[in-house]
């Protein structure tokens, strides 16, 4: 398929009036946020903060992402995303204005600054999943790639502009003004989001609850090897890269003897390196090398950069070193992010992105704290050199030791083309269809295998187990018939009928191929027998007997049956004066049986006996 230059333009999404207003607002607000970051480091230094406190900025900024991003991803799928974004803008504006007031009143100290940084990051943790999920709702499919590219470009452009603004304005007008203007920038973002007229998409199936969404994310990560590899790579990368935001300001202040107001130039140089890598290095590298080769090269650049950061003592040369760090950081992070998107199904993308962010931010928080403590105890130079040596050693180990290989090249061939599950689907009469929340549901299939191919069949069963468990099942069992060797019964249990339907919808073509291959290895004259069953445990568990003295509330003396309902009793507890009645059927229009075998249909909402029923 051929595309015109206009359709592949980076700026295509700016023709969308809603997105263009939001993008320019993000550039302005992001610039002042970057300026505030510079002002915060200046304020920490001016207030006499120790090396540990300065390095903790990276930790407190990353910690909310580690703690709250996954719940935020679940909430973003349940709550109106526009309301989330609006609330976060007001949250951020109020924090920035409070910082401005506290600085003006000479009440701000390093601990309050760190608290403010944590609260800012808390807002970003809750807005990130909603923001990434909102972009496809704002733009057309044709504009989507451009919108994501512009979102990444916005952060780099804002980083450059904001760092320059911070370096220029702090000596002239002080940090209080920057804090205040940053608050106004978030109010501008509020107005831009307010103009978005959201059209809510309708789902064919019921949405998962908050806890179901969290459980699904945890289950998918647990039973998907590729996701675990990517999470490990994100964790390692984030742990090592955290040394730059944690200790580069310390190097600038203590080793290069820069003024605090000039720290913005270091971050500006990094942002310039990021922009250049995005414009030139990444397209060139992707045309020639695999994702694993690209990330390996970028990581080697970062190892070199760690060494240069403690060997270079000329400020102007150090700007080039910072730019080199921006190149390595952006190239490696970009490839990891793209590989992660390839390995995520659409139905789990929001929660998986939240999981990746949570792991990365957690590793960043841990790394920032450890690098800061190491620098405090051993010095900045040994810490950077130790990080470079440790990173190089890990790179050698994961490429040499087969058991430790965690290459990301496997994502290049991933496909999530949907395919319905035929093997375990059932044609049920409409009257027999359960309600969405009814469950648990058990799906059972019986196979007969050739004894000579037993090992191959077991391997396929192992793959099937992972397929069902990551798509919604909470239990999977394989049984072998003791009387008929090589006859296996596979049981899959899901929590509800809704989860059963969602599991069918989530099945991909590749996963169905595994099920079809398993089905094809059955040697019986007919296809494998399958059953689908709904648990009746609840009906049994509701049948609790308690000897309680009944108080007459409403009675019906028709026929031989005299009934009354116990005031304050649990639902489905019905008593005859002096005689206990038991539940025959629960739910609306429940049937209770008395000692004399008569029955009554009970209206539970009105708490009265409405009619005697036929004998059962």
- Each residue's pLDDT tens digit, 290-310: 989 999 999 999 999 999 999
Mean pLDDT, rounded, for 38-51: 87
pTM summary value: 0.72
Q: Please tell me which residue, 79 or 220, carries the higher pLDDT value.
A: 220
Mean pLDDT, rounded, for 503-510: 86
Give the integer Cα–Cα distance in Å for 291 and 446.
Answer: 42
Q: Which of 118-122, 224-228, 238-242, 356-360 has the weakest average pLDDT?
A: 356-360
Give the integer Cα–Cα distance in Å for 235 and 231.
Answer: 6
What's phi and psi for 506, nearest 5 deg? -80, -15
Give the chain's mean pLDDT: 80
DSSP, collapsed to helix, strand or coil, labels residue 242 as coil
Residue 268: the pLDDT is 80
Q: Please tell me which residue, 447 or 560, carries the higher pLDDT value.
A: 447
Q: Which of 82-91, 348-357, 411-420 has the weakest average pLDDT?
A: 411-420
Of 381, 409, 388, nearest in space to 301 by CA: 388
Of 591, 80, 146, 67, nearest in space to 361 by CA: 67
At the fourth CATH level, the homologous superfamily of domain 12-413 is MFS general substrate transporter like domains (1.20.1250.20)
Mean pLDDT, rounded, for 514-519: 90
Give the integer Cα–Cα distance in Å for 14 and 410.
Answer: 34
Give the integer Cα–Cα distance in Å for 180 and 358.
Answer: 30
- HSE-CB at 577 with a 13 A cutoff on CA atoms is 10
Structure tokens at 65: 């992402």
CATH 3.30.70.100 domain span(s) along the chain: 430-535
SS (HEC) of 243-278: HHHHHHHHHHHHHCCCCHHHHHHHHHHHHHHHHHHH
- Each residue's pLDDT tens digit, 134-190: 777 787 767 765 676 677 778 888 878 887 888 888 888 888 999 999 999 999 999
Residues of the chain above pLDDT 70, percent: 81
Mean pLDDT, rounded, for 513-520: 90
Mean pLDDT, rounded, for 97-120: 93
- As assigned by CATH, the class of the 430-535 domain is alpha beta
Q: Which pLDDT band holds residue 590 (cuts at 50, 70, 90)?
A: very low
Q: Which of 224-233, 358-367, 413-422 has the highest mean pLDDT?
A: 224-233
Residue 149: the pLDDT is 63
Q: Which pLDDT band holds residue 80 (cuts at 50, 70, 90)?
A: confident
Give the integer Cα–Cα distance in Å for 25 and 158.
Answer: 11
Looking at residue 447, the DSSP 8-state letter turns out to be E
């Amino acid at each position: 398929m051929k595309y015109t230059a206009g359709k592949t333009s980076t700026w295509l999404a700016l023709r969308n009036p809603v997105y263009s207003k939001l993008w320019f607002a993000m550039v302005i607000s992001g610039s002042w946020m970057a300026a505030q970051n510079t002002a915060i480091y200046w304020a920490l230094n001016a207030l006499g903060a120790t090396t540990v406190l300065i390095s903790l900025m990276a930790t407190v900024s990353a910690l909310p992402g580690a703690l709250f991003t996954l719940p935020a991803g679940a909430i973003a799928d349940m709550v109106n995303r526009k309301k989330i974004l609006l609330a976060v803008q007001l949250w951020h504006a109020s924090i920035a204005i409070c910082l401005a007031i506290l600085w003006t009143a000479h009440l701000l100290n390093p601990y309050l600054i760190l608290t403010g940084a944590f609260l800012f990051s808390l807002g970003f943790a809750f807005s990130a999943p909603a923001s990434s999920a909102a972009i496809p709702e704002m733009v057309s499919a044709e504009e989507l790639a451009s919108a994501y590219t512009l979102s990444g470009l916005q952060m780099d452009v804002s980083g450059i502009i904001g760092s320059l603004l911070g370096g220029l304005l702090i000596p002239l007008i002080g940090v209080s003004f920057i804090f205040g203007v940053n608050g106004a920038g978030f109010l501008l973002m509020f107005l831009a989001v307010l103009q978005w007229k959201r059209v809510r998409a309708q789902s064919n199936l019921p949405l998962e609850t908050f806890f179901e969404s969290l459980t699904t994310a945890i289950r998918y990560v647990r039973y998907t090897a590729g996701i675990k590899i990517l999470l490990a790579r994100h964790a390692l990368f984030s742990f090592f890269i955290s040394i730059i935001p944690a200790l580069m300001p310390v190097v600038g202040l203590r080793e290069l003897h820069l003024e605090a107001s000039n720290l913005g130039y270091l971050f500006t140089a990094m942002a310039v390196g990021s922009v250049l890598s995005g414009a030139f290095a990444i397209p060139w590298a992707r045309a020639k090398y695999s994702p694993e080769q690209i990330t390996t090269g970028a990581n080697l650049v970062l190892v070199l950069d760690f060494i240069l950061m403690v060997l270079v003592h000329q400020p102007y040369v150090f700007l080039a070193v910072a730019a080199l760090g921006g190149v390595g950081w952006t190239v490696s992070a970009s490839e990891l992010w793209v590989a992660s998107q390839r390995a995520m199904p659409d139905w789990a993308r929001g929660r998986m992105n939240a999981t990746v962010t949570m792991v990365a931010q957690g590793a960043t928080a841990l790394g920032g704290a450890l690098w800061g403590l190491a620098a405090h105890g051993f010095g900045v130079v040994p810490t950077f050199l130790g990080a470079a040596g440790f990173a190089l050693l890990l790179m050698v180990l994961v490429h040499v030791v087969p058991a430790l290989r965690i290459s990301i090249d496997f994502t290049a061939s991933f496909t999530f083309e949907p395919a319905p599950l035929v093997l375990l689907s059932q044609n049920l009469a409409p009257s027999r269809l359960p309600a969405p929340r009814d469950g648990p549901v058990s799906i059972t299939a019986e196979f007969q295998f050739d004894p000579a191919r037993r090992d191959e069949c077991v391997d396929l069963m192992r793959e099937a187990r992972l397929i069902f468990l990551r798509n919604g099942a909470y239990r999977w069992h394989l049984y072998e018939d003791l009387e008929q060797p090589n006859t296996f019964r596979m049981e899959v249990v899901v929590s509800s009928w809704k989860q059963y339907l969602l599991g069918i919808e989530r099945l991909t073509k590749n996963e169905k191929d595994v099920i079809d291959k398993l089905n094809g290895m059955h040697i019986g004259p007919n296809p494998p027998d399958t059953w689908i069953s709904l648990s009746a445990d609840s009906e049994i568990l509701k049948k609790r007997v308690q000897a309680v003295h009944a108080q007459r509330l409403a009675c019906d003396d028709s026929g031989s049956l005299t009934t009354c309902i116990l005031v304050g009793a649990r639902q489905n507890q019905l008593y005859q004066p002096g005689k206990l009645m038991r539940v025959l059927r629960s739910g609306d229009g429940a049937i209770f049986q008395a000692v004399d075998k008569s029955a009554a249909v009970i209206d539970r909402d009105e708490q009265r006996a409405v009619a005697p029923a036929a004998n059962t």
